[in-house]
Amino acid sequence: MECQTALENLDCVRPDSDDLDLPEMAAARAHLESCDACQEAFAEMQDYDRAVAGVIQHVDVPAHLRSALLDAAPEKVASVPDSVDAETRTDEVTHTAFGSRRRALAIAVSAACVLMLGVGEWLRQSQPMQFAEDELLQRLSLDLSSTKEFDTGFEFSLPATWVGNGRLRVGREFRGIDLDDAAGHDAAVTVFSYAASRNTSIDGILAAIPASRVQPPPNSVSFAQADSRYIEKDGRRPVVAVWQEHDTVYVCLILGSAADLEQIQRSLSTSAA
Ligand SMILES: [Zn+2]
């Protein structure tokens, strides 16, 4: 018997079984005893099968998937016609068994892969919820009185141009807002006041949200360039600008007009020297 034929036959031997003692394995067994290369290859095959069996046993296949797999299983060894003479049949049986067992293994492995993908999908879904801009604006509140102190669950700093402008006073304390049902604050919000003239101030809120939570990302990359628009909010019509700087998305929302917001944008178009 040649090595290849011997190995094809030996491939049907289940690990840790008596399969090798079967009469149809006699020739392969005899070859194995006299061939070092096949002994080595056979040992590797058995290790591989053992490993695959180990993996499959630890995967809990859902009932509906199990029956689908069984339906998809290849035709059985028993389908070999009786008319073929005994010797050929043994050969056929061995080869069919070889083929179907490999295919069954392949199916089992792909089932395991499907399950792994399922786990991946589940992990992906358990990632923090993302918000579209409009959704985000819906969930932000103008009224910070019922909010708690920001839990510092994420890091951010003030937008670059919002620091060091004499007309702008930004609240020192940030409040936390929960946008989803998961624990922890998802947005940090503070109040600000811009001195438009000696007697007039424009008040609003500034919110900071990790950019990873906003999808799609805002078009603007600076406050000065951000489009302003009116939104409906708690029966009022505040003006809002949304932009992203580095890893943070900012929302500036004022109770005033678009012209008021644009005035602040012009004033904060450059960092104060
Ligand atoms: Zn050999």
Give pLDDT, residue 70. Answer: 62
CB burial readout 93-128, b (16+ within 10 A) else e: bbbbbbbbbeeeeebbeebbeeeeeeeeeeeeeeee
Q: Do 204 and 188 fall into the same domain?
A: yes
Task: Tell me how far the alpha carbon of residue 109 lies from the centroid of ligand 1, in angstroms.
Answer: 28
Give pLDDT, residue 210. Answer: 95
Does this model's pTM top 0.95? no
Q: Do 35 and 149 fall into the same domain?
A: no
Split into its structural domains, the chain has a count of 2
Task: Tell me how far the alpha carbon of residue 32 lies from the centroid of ligand 1, in angstroms.
Answer: 6
Task: Tell me how far the alpha carbon of residue 8 lies from the centroid of ligand 1, in angstroms.
Answer: 11
**Residue 115's domain spans which residues?**
3-125
Task: Tell me how far the alpha carbon of residue 165 lies from the centroid of ligand 1, in angstroms.
Answer: 84
Q: Do 81 and 206 fall into the same domain?
A: no
Task: Tell me how far the alpha carbon of residue 128 lies from the centroid of ligand 1, in angstroms.
Answer: 56
Q: At what angle do helices 3-10 and 86-125 cross, to 10 degrees?
A: 60
**Full pLDDT tens readout for the chain, 273 residues:** 889 999 988 888 888 888 889 888 999 999 999 999 999 999 988 888 887 777 666 666 666 666 666 666 544 333 334 344 444 444 444 444 455 566 666 666 666 666 666 666 655 556 778 889 998 898 888 888 888 999 999 999 999 899 988 999 999 899 999 888 788 899 999 999 999 988 899 999 999 999 999 999 999 999 999 999 999 988 889 999 999 999 999 999 998 999 999 999 999 987 544
Give pLDDT, residue 109. Answer: 67
Give pLDDT, residue 49. Answer: 81
For residue 12 the two structure tokens come to: 């049907």
Q: Do 111 and 33 fall into the same domain?
A: yes
Q: Indicate whether 272 belongs to any domain.
A: no
Q: Do 91 and 203 fall into the same domain?
A: no
Q: Do 41 and 121 fall into the same domain?
A: yes
Q: Indicate whether 273 belongs to any domain.
A: no
